[in-house]
Amino acid sequence: MAPKPKTTPSQPPAPPPLEDLFTTLNKHIQASAFTNAVKLTDQILAIAPADEDALRCKIVALIKDDRFDDAVSAIQSSRTPPEDFHFFKAYCLYKQNKLDEALESLQKHERNDETMLLESQILYRLGKMDACLDIYQKLQKSKIDMLEINSVAALVMAGRSSEVQGWLDSFRVKATSSFELAYNTACSLIQRNKYTEAEQLLLSARRIGQESLMEDNWPDEDIENELSPIAVQLGYVQQLLGRKQDAIEAYVDMIKRDMADESSIAVAVNNLVSLKGPKDVSDSLKKLDRLKEKEMQSFRLAHGLDLKLSAKEREAIYANRVLLLLHANRIDQARELVSALPVMFPESAVPVLLQAALLVRENKAGRAEEILAQFAGKFPEKSQVLYLARAQVAAAAGHPHIAADSLTKLPDIQHMPATVATLVSLKERANDVEGAAVVLDSATKWWSNAMTEDNKLNIIMQEAASFKLRHGREEDAAKLYEELVKSQGSIEALVGLITTVARLDVIKAELYEKKLKTLPGLKGIDVDGLERTSGVKQVEGPLHAGVAETNDEGKNKTKTKRKRKRKPRYPKGFNPANPGPPPDPERWLPKRERSTFRPKRKDKRAAQVRGSQGAVVRDKQEAGASSSHSNPKSNQATSSKGATQSAVSEQTKPSSKPSSKSRKKSRK
């Protein structure tokens, strides 16, 4: 047998030249085929692992394909990454909402317009609006697209809406230059309570957006999706203007069509829930359930919404969820959600307020007061709303000392009339009259030294004088009234002064009384004679009875008018010449009250007496009485009705009129 020839192993085909691969890669990128581009870059890196251009193309293709985790892994695989890779990594971390890590990675990159713009976006997402606006101001000279739109948005989020027009003037643009800028400017008008102007600007923004997007040949569905934030904001403005039904229709229409983006639908659902309030709680909870992460049992917003919504918007949704759970009496679910909120919003006061509301619902008002006081001491800049909540909880729980202590820790509003009135009322409830007087004296002193146009000194002094007069401090009250008469010269102050001084010095009070103007028509009245009379007699009956009598007398004197005689109108088919038998006069009465009514007879054998031998036989009268009692059907009906009528009539009678029982006793 002849030996087989030896076969040489086949060599692998030679790889294509790198130039051809890069040419194909460029075609994939131009066609936005990023998945194919990534595969091709892997082929290039297999041939040339150290090729930075191929790695850079792979990272950019992964970012374009929204594969941020893979992009970060590709960046970390490079042993000596170029400087621009730090920018790519920061952008990927920003898109993954890892903001602190993104900011740290960005600081390793050289500072230029691109890095500053990304840094401003990260700061905006972190809620650091002032630092964000500082960067925008530095970039103002650079010709960066949409910089004015982002600047106005940051001003609104920072609460600096009054500066919007100045920034627009510095950019030399009008609010209606684009629909995004018009929308952001309308939000600034809403923040300044100019709701009508904001509504008109939002309508203009919607019109501008429709025209510009139609020119770019956008499909109708995409146009509606792009302009959905404007539709939600229009509903919000209608809600603020008091047109609640229009706002509800706008929200419901957007939710039903489900054409908007996720963030707009979330805002519409939240606004609809807040507008409905505690009505139909189960339906509101179902609407909020569509915003949660489907894989989790507890309520957490979907990952996409966490990235798109601002911190305030997310906080509002969670707060409304807790309030609805409290209204639905789902205390366990509310407790679970409240415990998670401080981690989500560590620098916000809303989680503490919700925790206090939960404790109040569980009848733990004392614990709620402690938590509010602790957080107010930890964050003094947010203490005002916390101390106000603590005062409300304490006042409702019957702790006036704690409520008054909370209000005294608010120096900004401590001397306002409403706060002063509340403090005085709380001090009086706590039987601390001296403390209430100190509050009024302090407020009077503060307003005496205040240099404001809307000075409340007269109001405070009037209430202070009334308080001191009520608590027996006539001398202090008289001094306050004297100052009011000198400064204000009002009749009310003069009357208060006279009534107060009359308790101390009648002669001095008469001197003040002479300053009162005499009323017209009182000269011919004998005051001494009026004082000697026993007063006005109380007249029974309506007050206008005497007036009615005089009117009747006047009518009798006048000549009576002749009445026109009209033919009587008879029913259809009735012949007045042959009317027939008259109708039964008792036809309107119930049958058992008519004279022809005969009750049904009961079995007479029931009335027979069966007893032992030798029983005493009753006489006929007793037997008749027993027979009448054994058949009381008609009497029961009428007597019970009469009893109810007499009971009602006795309730409406005046107490001075004696009852029938007292008259019978007096006859004896």
In SS3 terms, 100-129 reads as: HHHHHHHCCCCCCHHHHHHHHHHHHHHCCH
Distance CA 428, CA 436 (A): 7
**Amino acid found at 65:** D
**Is 460 buried (19+), middle (13-18) or exposed (0-12) by CB count in 10 A?**
buried
* Torsion angle of C-alpha atoms 529, 535, 537, 542, degrees rounded to 10: 110
The pLDDT value given to residue 503: 76
What is the rounded average pLDDT of the residues 599-612? 61
Give SS3 for 301: strand
CA 526 to chain centre: 60
What H or E segment, with its residue span, contains residue 392?
helix 383-396
Q: Which tokens sit at 604?
A: 């007479």
The pLDDT value given to residue 28: 83
Distance CA 152, CA 158 (A): 10
Higher-confidence residue: 645 or 105? 105
Lowest mean pLDDT among 60-69, 299-308, 636-645: 636-645
Q: Which tokens sit at 427?
A: 């001090």
Percent of the chain with pLDDT strictly greater than 70:
80
Q: Which residues of 42-69 are buried (b: 16+ CB within 10 A; e: fewer)?
A: eebbeeeeebeebbbbbbbbbbebebbe
Higher-confidence residue: 606 or 401? 401
**pLDDT tens profile 162-212:** 999 998 888 888 989 999 999 999 999 999 999 999 999 999 999 999 999
The domain defined by 414-515 carries CATH number 1.25.40.10:
yes
Say yes or no to pLDDT of 261 above 60: yes
Q: Are 151 and 135 in contact (CB under 8 A)?
A: no
**pLDDT tens profile 501-536:** 777 777 777 776 767 776 666 666 676 777 777 666
Give the contacts of 271 (CB within 8 A, at least 6 positions apart).
232, 235, 236, 239, 247, 251
Q: Which tokens sit at 560?
A: 């009576």
CA 658 to chain centre: 57
CB atoms within 10 A of CB 279: 9
| Superfamily of domain 16-110, CATH level 4 | Tetratricopeptide repeat domain (1.25.40.10)
When pLDDT is cut at 50, 70 and 90, the band that residue 14 belongs to is: low
With CA atoms as reference, report the closest residue to 416 among 382, 392, 390, 442. Answer: 442
When pLDDT is cut at 50, 70 and 90, the band that residue 9 belongs to is: low
When pLDDT is cut at 50, 70 and 90, the band that residue 236 belongs to is: very high
When pLDDT is cut at 50, 70 and 90, the band that residue 400 belongs to is: very high
Where are the chain's structural domains? 16-110, 414-515
Q: Which tokens sit at 88?
A: 């790519």
Distance CA 440, CA 528 (A): 41
Distance CA 360, CA 144 (A): 52
What H or E segment, with its residue span, contains residue 444?
helix 433-449
Q: Which tokens sit at 443?
A: 């407020």
Lowest mean pLDDT among 139-148, 225-234, 525-534, 604-613: 604-613
Higher-confidence residue: 204 or 556? 204
The pLDDT value given to residue 65: 87
What is the rounded average pLDDT of the residues 594-620? 61
DSSP, res 15: P
Q: Which tokens sit at 396?
A: 């409702």
Q: Answer whether 16-110 and 414-515 agree in fold.
A: yes
Say yes or no to pLDDT of 309 above 90: no
The pLDDT value given to residue 58: 87
Lowest mean pLDDT among 238-252, 276-290, 492-506, 618-632: 618-632
Q: Which tokens sit at 469?
A: 């007069």
Q: Are 278 and 327 in contact (CB under 8 A)?
A: yes
Higher-confidence residue: 40 or 18? 40
Instruction: Share the mean pLDDT of the chain.
Output: 79
What is the rounded average pLDDT of the residues 527-553? 58
Q: Report the chain's terminal Cα–Cα distance, integer Å.
A: 158
